[in-house]
Structure 1
Amino acid sequence: MKNSMYLLLSLAFLSCAMAQGSTDENACAAEPLEDYNMPLRIGTVFIILGTSSIGIFTPLLLHYFGKQDSAFIKYTLLIGKFFGTGVILATAFVHMLPDAFNNFANPCLPAGWLSYGAFGGVFCMIASLLIQLIEFAAIANATSINQKKAESDAKSAVENYKATDSITERTAFDQKNLPSHELAGDHAHEIGHFHTAGMLEEGQSFRNIGTLTLELGIVMHSVIIGITLANTGSDEFTTLLIALVFHQFFEGIALGTRINDMNLKSFLKPAIMSIAYCITTPLGIAIGIGIHSSFNENSPSSILAQAILDSLSAGILLYSAYVELIAMEMNHNPEFLQRSFGSKAMCFISLYTGAGLMALIGEWA
């Protein structure tokens, strides 16, 4: 009797173990996409393309082709800029980092990846530090170039000044009778002018580099979004699509207002940057459609790719949001600090509204 009980218990435990193993294997197997509506998925490419285009080109067109002296347009772009900053911040905190941590904790990953629970934070930190290093090197190089140019221009100005003074004896006589401090003041004015111009160029270079790194982080994330949308089941597809329509629109506004700050004279470069943003998510959708029959979102390689890219993108966006956008545009911006209380309050409200709306969208996307 006892032997029979032991045998039954052994068989029960063995059955449970086999069932658990089968469940684990099934959990990591490819999930079949039933009722895959191909026309709708293809239509999604154009829906997202149109939404992204409206979001990013609206601030660009207002900036380049609107009335430059219109107070309404200037104020609208200002509010849009801080709204976009909030969107970027929430995108990193709500849409990227949680997904990265969840993917790094996925049981389908090899044991080595599961033994350390902070890989999401590690890759996020690596991206932030790497972007800081790249920016430092680029700005140091730009500073050196501008300084040499300013010194060269100042030297040329002084030489031209002396050459002009020696054209006639009368001019030479007048210069001899001028107090030395006036000559020094003229020279200092010339040198100071070029020094100030160099500082302005450095500040503009800093903003331009920041915008490029911001777009890099957004583009990396957008490809993942597209592939995910194309391989989402029919039950969740519509909800995710609606959420991503708002996601892409708000993100487009955020990037478009930052491209405006680059102060590029030609519309060609901003247009190219905007088109690059517009096509990345549709490109991801197209890739997802092409591989949907063989794509396994539960495979270790797929999970790792999404986790690492989300972490890196989050690091880039967090650095951009705090260092280049909030700190530089608000805390350390004399022009912003001199604004009226009402104007500053509207900018902060816009910042918080952008962050809040993007965080709300995180419920579905």
Structure 2
Amino acid sequence: MSINFLDQDRDKTQALKYKVGAIASILVAGAIGVCLPILGKSFEALRPEKNTFFVIKAFAAGVILSTGFIHVLPDAFENLTSPCLNENPWGKFPFTGFVAMMATIGTLMVDASATSYYTKSHFNKSKPGNFPGDEEMVQPHEDHVHVHTHGTHGHSHGAIPSADSELLRHRIISQFFEGMGLGGCIAQAKFKSKAIAIMVLFFSLTTPVGIAIGIGISNVYNENSPTALIVEGIFNAASAGILIYMSLVDLLAADFMNTKVQTNKGLQIAVNISLLLGAGCMSLLAKWA
């Protein structure tokens, strides 16, 4: 059977166009998503204390939860149960679930430790005569977890397959709403401008940089090699665990148990519907992605 090298060159050129387009599109989508809630503080309807903010954040949390369960975790199972891997040990133990579980527990530990550290720092700085209410309590632990989450998630999804427009569209949508989730937590925390700029920049650049690395190693990277499958599978499983923790604990639990939501029946219904819509829409994308 003859091989048409001209067609192969065209395929590579087309794939490169998609990857370069992915870098620009995902960068813009992520930056807009993460900046909207932060800049929204200037608009009355989008301020963190407004009902609209809770509804939008619930939708973003649903997108992130679906990304973990429907998009990332199945990929991890596929990687770590591949027939290209040795039956022993990969076929004899559910490594995907184990890694996802350990990532979730690890995130909880980091979250709790960071909260404890900042709580102690806050009260240690308080002098006699000062009351805890005199200074606003800053809670950066959520944002630390979010940045770590997106760094891991972006790294594990660095390479965009050739000429796959549906996957690219899914990644853009996912990046936008994940950015909104992160931006929502940044908006609620009282960070200085420099810290906000660093977190926004880190989130916006992580996935595009991952794609650029994917372009650089595409000629020597064998995605079906045992090493590649193991590394990608472990990263995907860890990303899924962190995303699931972040959406359920840092976003949903914090907002759904908020006094404002608990005392407003209409808002409760709205955030529940918004959550289901976010999770449903992102799950539907799995049909094409």
**TM bucket normalised to smaller:** 0.7 to 0.9
Distance in 1 (CA, whole Å) between partners of 2:273 and 2:59 is: 8
Match of 1:210 among 124, 131, 142: 142
1:96 aligns with 2:28: no
Change (3 A) 1:350 1:135: same
Partners of 1:41 and 1:324 in 2: CA distance: 32
Task: Quickly say closer, same or farther: Cα 1:85–1:117, change in 2 above 3 A.
Answer: same
Q: Based on CA coordinates, which of the two structures has the bigger radius of gyration?
A: 1
Shift of the alpha carbon at 1:242?
A: 1.9
Q: SS at the partner of 1:233? A: coil
CA distance in 2, matches of 1:53, 1:360: 24
Query: In the alignment, does 2:146 pair up with 1:220?
Result: no
User: What corresponds to 1:274 in structure 2?
Assistant: 200
Contact 1:222/1:284 (<8 A) preserved: yes
Given the superposition, is the C-alpha separation of residues 210 and 116 from structure 1 closer, same or farther in structure 2, using an over 3 Å criterion? farther
- Write out per-residue CA displacement over residues 69-128 of structure 1, whole angstroms, 9 at most, x where no aligned residue: x24653433322111111121111111111111111001112324232411111111111
Contact residue 107 and residue 114 of structure 1 kept, 8 A: no
Alpha carbons 2:45, 2:53 under 8 Å: kept: no
Q: What is the root-mean-square deviation in Å for CA atoms of aligned residues?
A: 2.3
User: Compared with structure 1, are the counterparts of its residues 197 and 321 closer, same or farther at alpha carbon in structure 2 (3 Å cutoff)?
Assistant: farther
Consecutive unaligned residues of structure 1, counting only runs of 5 or more, are: 1-31, 158-189
The Cα shift of 1:34 comes to 6.7
> For residue 348 of structure 1, what is the amino acid of its counterpart?
N
**How many Å apart are 1:302 and its aligned residue?**
0.9
CA contact (8 A) 2:62 2:278 kept: yes
5 Å matches for 1:114-153?
114-150=90-126, 153=127
Specify the SS of the correspondent of 1:98: helix
Q: Measure the CA separation in 2 of the matches of 1:326 and 1:308.
A: 26
Does the CA contact (< 8 Å) of 2:84 and 2:225 recur in 1? yes
Deviation at 1:355, TM superposition (A): 1.1
- Give the 3 Å change call, closer, same or farther, for CA 322–44 of structure 1 in structure 2: closer
Distance 1:249 1:72, change over 3 A: closer
- 1:335 counterpart residue number: 260
Q: TM (normalized to structure 2)? A: 0.87
**Alpha-carbon distance change, 214 to 270 in structure 1, aligned in 2, over 3 angstroms:** same
> Counterpart in 2 of 1:300?
226
Structure 1 position 197, deviation (Å): 5.2
The 1:76/1:335 distance shift into structure 2, 3 A limit, reads closer
Match of 1:363 in 2: 287
In the TM superposition, what is the alpha-carbon distance from 1:45 to its structure 2 partner? 1.5
Task: Look up the match of 2:246.
Answer: 320
Identity %: 32
Equivalent position of 1:77 in the other structure: 53
Alignment length, in residue pairs? 278
Give the superposition deviation at 1:134: 2.2
In the alignment, the residues of structure 2 paired with residue 197 and residue 316 of structure 1 have an alpha-carbon distance, to the nearest angstrom, of 34
TM-score, normalised relative to structure 1:
0.70
Match of 1:43 in 2: 21
Between 249-258 and 92-101, report the one with greater CA deviation.
Answer: 249-258
Query: Shift of the alpha carbon at 1:335?
Result: 2.7
Paired position in structure 2 for 1:185: none
Match of 2:189?
262
Structure 1 equivalent of residue 3 of structure 2:
none
Quickly say closer, same or farther: Cα 1:148–1:40, change in 2 above 3 A: closer
Given the alignment of the two structures, is residue 53 of structure 1 paired with residue 28 of structure 2, yes or no?
Answer: no
